Amino acid sequence: MRKAIFLDRDGTLIETVPYLSRLSQIKLLNGVPEALSLLKGKGYSLVVVTNQSGVARGFFDVNFVLESHRRIQLLLEEAGVAVDAFYFCPHHPTEGDPPYKVDCDCRKPKPGLLLRAAGELGLELAGSWVVGDDLPDLMMARNLGLYFALVRSGYGRTLEEGGLLPPLREGEWVVDDLLAAAHLIANKSSG
């Protein structure tokens, strides 16, 4: 079984655009292809896990989320790398209409997306990492006892500067971006 890097999407892989609504808004953050290549080279599976409550809220549909992920994968492939899978939660516990207005087990910080990915892809959670830019990413990692790197490239900087980031525990770090996270992970996996 392989270990994985579970990656948040917005603010970690691509520029943050609140409720992304056009494929033309998708832009990879600096250093993302290099970071993913480094992590692949260390033998990690790369899995994107993202909350997409815009589906529940009626801002876009599931097909748009799937198209967005195809676009991200194409941009990555053009740069010589790819992620292994995309998983997303279209739900919201209080907004929208059924079947998407539901208190599910897949909305971060709950671990449903990671557990599903691990089961479907044959991944080992022990020793895996979560890399993201917001508190739900951190809490999801904590819920499963995974290593965590908070990137400042999205909401992470606001959390840190605003004093909203809870005290870090052992196995948790704050770094500038995904490339810095990849170097941290590579260093830790070599040591």
Q: Which residues are catalytic?
A: 8, 10
The rounded distance, in Å, linking the Cα atoms of 121 and 85 is: 9
Question: How would you class 47 by CB atoms within 10 Å of its CB: exposed for 0-12, middle for 13-18, buried for 19 or more?
Answer: buried
Q: DSSP letter for 113, please.
A: H
Q: Alpha-carbon distance 158 to 86, whole Å?
A: 26
Partners of 130 in the beta sheet? 6, 148
Contact 53, 92 (CB under 8 A): yes
Task: State the Cα–Cα distance between residues 18 and 21, nearest whole angstrom.
Answer: 9
d(CA 53, CA 36): 26
What is the C-alpha separation between 118 and 95, in angstroms, rounded? Answer: 28
DSSP 24: G
